[in-house]
Amino acid sequence: MHLLEGVAAILVSVCIYAWAYGKHHGPGAPGWAKGQLFASLISVLLVALFPVGAGFVALGLTEAMTPASWAGLVALAVLPVAIWKAVPRLARRA
């Protein structure tokens, strides 16, 4: 189960980064997305979330394999494709 939770945390952190990047660098970026507070909040969130996800992945790889662990392993294999599909839509500058 830890493997699945770790993969989910990593995917969420990458999607949050892509969303924030699109909001901050877009041509019609709102004022709240251009400020230091927005950048700091996203940075703190990512600094906390991504390593926790990586730790859960490492913990999940050291445990005995259960059906949830196998689902996490499959998700770990599918994660690059999911990120590749989701990130361009989130980082779109519109």
pLDDT of residue 23: 85
Residues 35-80 pLDDT 10s: 889 889 999 999 999 999 999 989 988 888 888 778 877 877 887 7
What percentage of the chain has pLDDT greater than the value 70? Answer: 94
Evaluate if residue 93 carries a pLDDT over 70: no
Mean pLDDT of 81-91: 73
Domain boundaries along the sequence of the chain: 2-90
DSSP of 4-70:
HHHHHHHHHHHHHHHHHHHHHHSTT--HHHHSHHHHHHHHHHHHHHHHHHHHHHHHHHHSPP-HHHH
